[in-house]
Amino acid sequence: MINRRNILQGMAAGVGAAFGASMLPNQASAASSAKGGPKRIIFFMQNQGFDPATCIPEGMTSNSSLAKAKLPEPIEALEPYKERLHIINGLHGVHTSPSHSAFFGALGGYRGSDGVAPSGPTIDYELSKALPQTLMPHLCIGMDSIENMTTKPTIANLSASGAGQPIFMHSNPNHLYQMLYGGISSGDIRRQHEARSNVMNQIEKLAAAKGHALPTADQQRYDQFVQGFKNTNGLRERLDTVSDHLKKFAPEVDERYTKPEFETDWHDVLLDLGISSLTSGITNTLTIGSGRGEIFGAWKGLGITEQGHNLGHMKQPDNPIWIKIRQYNSRMLVRIMETLDNVPEGSGSMMDNTLIVYTSNNANAQHTSGTNWPVMLLGNCGGIFKTGCFTQLDGKRPINALYTTLLQTAGQNIARFNMNDKLAKKFDAGNGPLSEVLA
């Protein structure tokens, strides 16, 4: 059980000077002096694959500096930040058996498929436990067409806390705002928040009382259902304990929430909510699922009429549609970095202690075998990660090696992530972290 004191200590470690020395002088001072490793990590997963030609500078085929290179048009928004960028080509995910998507396997580093439950925890969840403690260890937001986000406001395809334990992505920004900031709001938002809270409390009590008569096998699954309500209600109570602090970070609610013209209006405010959850110290791990880990997705707000599965059958390089989508992603990455750059932490900013991992839930393309899984890293976390460069690998190390590296930099002493000796013998030519990404 997390008590108030531990909550505040975790939040102080997560946001450092953002709290102000007058509020928590001892904890803030400790956070300021802490060095080494990330304090928070963001995963941005774009569906339909990540073609390496859309991110690797023209003519670059071997390990090189990006200093004098010109970034390709799809990611040109990152040009001013390329000294913080590391483009990695040549990891693989063959063992995840991706086709339309690797689903949970993309962040789990194991076999994934449509409708198949996760076989273990995903890297974002494991990192959320290793990083400085926060109110809500992990937040996952999913961007899709307005129809899908409305009819399916939560969906689970990317993140998991364990075998058979998926974590839901939040896709309706109104619901997410109520969950995070309803307790400090007024008017209709506050009334809806209180009504929803009362209902959730009653459901938790009823569910807990009714599950004892079930058979043992069913009772275990039912207990997970009850635990979900306990977690939600417990989060609301923890958020209430720091309501004065949260008021400084809650985004302004405008018509993009209630009257979106395009789905990108909701994409934008979901991103705002995700960023605010980091800057306020609510969470230390943010996962963004553009396309929600499936083959869907829409970007009509960018002037793109095609959507969903058909996008995956289009070649990405030099395609005006995919250029627009990737540019939109890049602008989102810039928004994250600019915001975190403006929040003091220790002797620098929050971005100085943050790593962004940008890739796809489906390797390099739709209908892929997973032989190449391009990744972009943004941020060096105090010099831990190598930046300003392009690295070409030989295709013999899996995405699990990168995930192992992330966990080690977060203080976890592990040799492999979600890969036993038998699998490693077949799919990993090395062992331990991916040294090529470390400074």
**Is residue 202 over pLDDT 60?**
no
Predicted pLDDT at 33: 31
pLDDT exceeds 50 at position 394: yes
**pLDDT at 32 (0 to 100):** 34
What is the reported pLDDT for 298? Answer: 97
Task: Give residue 135's pLDDT band: very low, low, confident or very high (50, 70, 90).
Answer: confident
pLDDT tens per residue, range 175-186: 999 888 886 655
> Mean pLDDT, to the nearest integer, of 330-338?
98
For 26-56, how does the pLDDT look when each residue is reduced to its tens digit (9 = 90+)?
A: 223 333 334 468 999 999 999 999 999 999 9
> Which pLDDT score is estimated for 242?
78
From 28-37, 297-306, 332-341, the region with the lowest mean pLDDT: 28-37
pLDDT at 183: 65
The stretch 337-343 carries a mean pLDDT of 97
The residue-averaged pLDDT of 396-410 equals: 97
Q: What is the pLDDT of residue 239?
A: 78
* pLDDT (tens digit per residue) in 102-123: 999 999 999 999 989 999 999 9
pLDDT at res. 23: 27
8 A C-beta contact, residue 417 and residue 409: no
pLDDT band at 20 (very low <50, low <70, confident <90, very high): very low
* pLDDT (average), residues 61-74: 97
The mean pLDDT of the chain is: 85
Residue 69 pLDDT > 80, yes or no? yes
Say what the pTM is: 0.86
Q: Which residue has the tokens 């966990």?
A: 407
**Average pLDDT in the 74-79 region?**
98
- For position 28, what pLDDT does the model report? 33
pLDDT of residue 182: 81
